């Protein structure tokens, strides 16, 4: 990352602290969506796969938090957040297993179909639990983070930490192996690496990271809606990842 990029990032990160109000609320949206877009970039950077189904993990994490926080209050966060991440990891791992032999447009359509299935189930399958078209309002924020400023600072720290870990991972031995996986998985398999396991691991981590973005968004907004699971959300995440520099 260049000095200009760092300066621009710092300016956007500090501006909400000075302006407050709308700028602060917008910054929290950026943090949530930024986490989920990074999940997509990670998946592509490590496997070469492009997903149109990450709304399932993004919205799924948000709904998992909403259900637990509404049932048990703000005290549920220490358990709800790890469970939401585990749900995102497990769902993405399962989807990755289904698509192990899929590439390109075939994997893209598989992920889209999976996300739409989750969307329909949440919206129409169990409305008494998920709130149906109305979603789930009244989600409390974590204890001690009720104010917008502390909640933003925690989110900013999360985003910066994730980006730093992402860059460090790409430069690590495992990251270099994953880069080789993206370039030529057949050759990597011939060298003795377990390609299936690597792809499933990358898929699961990507799903957990997308769920983290959904958790943060749900806590900030105080409600979740089926739109968070829709194909439009998946498409928006993909656009954000591309604009943000998703590339080999």
Residue-level pLDDT at 10: 74
pLDDT at 42: 95
Percent of the chain with pLDDT over 70: 94
CB neighbour class for 173 (10 Å; exposed up to 12, middle 13-18, buried from 19): exposed
Q: Which helix (H) or strand (E) holds 223?
A: strand 223-224
Residue pair 243/89 in contact (Cβ under 8 Å)? The answer is: no
Separation between Cα atoms, residue 203 and residue 211, nearest integer Å: 12
Q: Judge whether residue 5 has pLDDT over 70.
A: no
The rounded distance, in Å, linking the Cα atoms of 16 and 82 is 28
Closest CA to 214 of 85, 120, 116, 99: 85
The domains of the chain are located at: 37-243
The pTM assigned to this predicted structure is 0.91
pLDDT at residue 166, rounded to an integer? 92
Q: Give the model's pLDDT for residue 4.
A: 64
């Amino acid at each position: 990352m260049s000095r200009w990029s760092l300066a621009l990032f710092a300016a956007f990160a500090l501006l909400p602290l000075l302006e407050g109000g709308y700028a602060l609320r917008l910054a929290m949206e950026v943090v949530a969506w930024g986490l989920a877009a990074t999940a997509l970039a990670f998946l592509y950077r490590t496997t070469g796969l492009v997903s149109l189904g990450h709304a399932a993990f993004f919205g799924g994490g948000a709904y998992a938090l909403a259900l637990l926080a509404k049932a048990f209050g703000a005290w549920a966060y220490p358990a709800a957040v790890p469970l939401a991440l585990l749900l995102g990891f497990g769902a993405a791992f399962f989807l990755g297993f289904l698509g192990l032999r899929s590439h390109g447009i075939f994997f893209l359509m598989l992920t889209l179909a999976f996300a739409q299935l989750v969307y329909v189930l949440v919206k129409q399958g169990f409305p008494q639990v998920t709130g149906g078209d109305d979603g789930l309002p009244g989600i409390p924020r974590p204890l001690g983070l009720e104010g917008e400023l502390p909640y933003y600072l925690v989110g900013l720290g999360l985003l910066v930490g994730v980006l730093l870990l992402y860059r460090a991972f790409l430069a690590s031995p495992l990251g270099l192996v994953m880069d080789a996986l993206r370039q030529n998985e057949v050759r990597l398999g011939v060298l003795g690496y377990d390609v299936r396991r690597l792809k499933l691991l990358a898929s699961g981590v990507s799903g957990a990271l997308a769920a983290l973005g959904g958790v943060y968004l749900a806590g900030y907004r105080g409600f979740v809606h089926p739109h968070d699971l829709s194909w439009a959300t998946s498409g928006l995440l993909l656009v954000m990842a591309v604009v943000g520099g998703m590339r080999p």
